[in-house]
Structure 1
Amino acid sequence: MKTTIQIQNLKCGGCAKTITDKLSGLNGINEIRIEEETSSVIFEHENSDVVFVAKDKLRALGYPAIDDENGILQKAKSYVSCASGKFKNN
């Protein structure tokens, strides 16, 4: 199955790198693609339970789904995740 999750706080390739790295470590998620233009995370999975795990991981990184709360803490986490992704690219 393929799932698309539209997220908040996606700013750049650093964010995308962090999201891809962290989601690829989850069991049952494959072929992760990030579309910066639409702030979407797209991935293949075998069962629907992993979608909830992915949403929780995204929220923990500072990239909540579009229908989740996006407070100052989430935004701060996303800046840290973004910087981490940028650092790993270099």
Structure 2
Amino acid sequence: MRISVHVQNLKCCGCKNTIVNRLSEVKNISEVEVDYEANTVAFDYHTNHDFENAKHVLSRIGYPIVGTENKLKTKVQSYVSCTIGKLKK
């Protein structure tokens, strides 16, 4: 199945690189695409459990899905993830 979700805190190519790299490491998640101008992340997954894992990873690296809580800690994590993404182009 394929899904596209709107995420919070998505700012630039650094964010995009981190999201693609981290989600691509998740079992049963593939074909990750990020549009930072539209604040969307799209990917293929097999089961609802896989989708939940992807949502958890997105939140943990600072990019929670729109409609979920976006605490200060999460916002700060997004800046860290962004910086890492810029360094690992």
TM class by shorter-chain length? over 0.9
- AA aligned to 1:71 is K
Name the Cα RMSD after superposition: 0.7
Q: Which runs of 4+ in 1 moved over 3 A?
A: none
Structure 1 runs not aligned, ≥5 long: none
- AA aligned to 2:36 is E
Match of 1:5 in 2: 5
The separation in 2 between residues aligned to 1:37 and 1:79, in whole angstroms, is: 17
Q: TM-score, normalised by structure 2?
A: 0.96
The alignment-based identity, stated in percent, is: 38
The separation in 2 between residues aligned to 1:64 and 1:46, in whole angstroms, is: 20
- AA aligned to 2:67 is D
Counterpart secondary structure, 1:9? coil
State the 1:44 CA deviation: 0.9
CA deviation string 1:32-85 (max 9, x = no partner): 100112111100112221110000000000101101111211110000000000
Match of 1:43 in 2: 43
2:68 aligned with 1:63 = no
The separation in 2 between residues aligned to 1:87 and 1:14, in whole angstroms, is: 8
User: 1:24-39, aligned counterparts within 5 Å?
Assistant: 24-39=24-39
Instruction: Give the count of matched residue pairs.
Output: 89
